[in-house]
Amino acid sequence: MASGIKLEREATEVEDQEIKKTFAKLDRNGDGRISVDELVKGARYLGINPTIDDAEAMIQEIDANVLQF
């Protein structure tokens, strides 16, 4: 997995809407957060089979990057 998420530009309105739709599909219980279980199930739906450790690492990396903004 690549280390660090760097945004080169702000998302366009269309991209922002797509991100929100994708987030809502992954957030199965509607609590405004994507859990490890929700991430794993969403990835498996797409044919990707991350381990629980992989999913936890992805969430930690994204959470750390969001806190930097």
| Inside any domain, residue 15 | no
Range of the domain at 63: 31-69
pLDDT in tens, 33-54: 999 999 999 999 999 999 999 9
14 domain residue, yes or no: no
Counting Cβ atoms within 10 Å, is residue 26 exposed (0-12), middle (13-18) or buried (19+)? middle
User: Which residue has tokens 């990835």?
Assistant: 43
Number of domains within the chain: 1
Residue 26 included in any domain? no
pLDDT band at residue 62 using 50, 70 and 90 as cut-offs:
confident
- Does some domain include residue 4? no
Residues whose CB falls within 8 Å of the CB of residue 20, separated by 6 or more in sequence, listed in order: none
**DSSP H helices in the chain:** 13-26, 36-45, 52-67
Q: Does residue 21 fall inside a structural domain?
A: no
pTM of the model: 0.72
Q: Is residue 16 part of a domain?
A: no
- Give the pLDDT score at 9: 75
Asked if residue 56 belongs to a domain, the reply is yes
As a whole number of angstroms, the distance between CA 2 and CA 7 comes to: 14
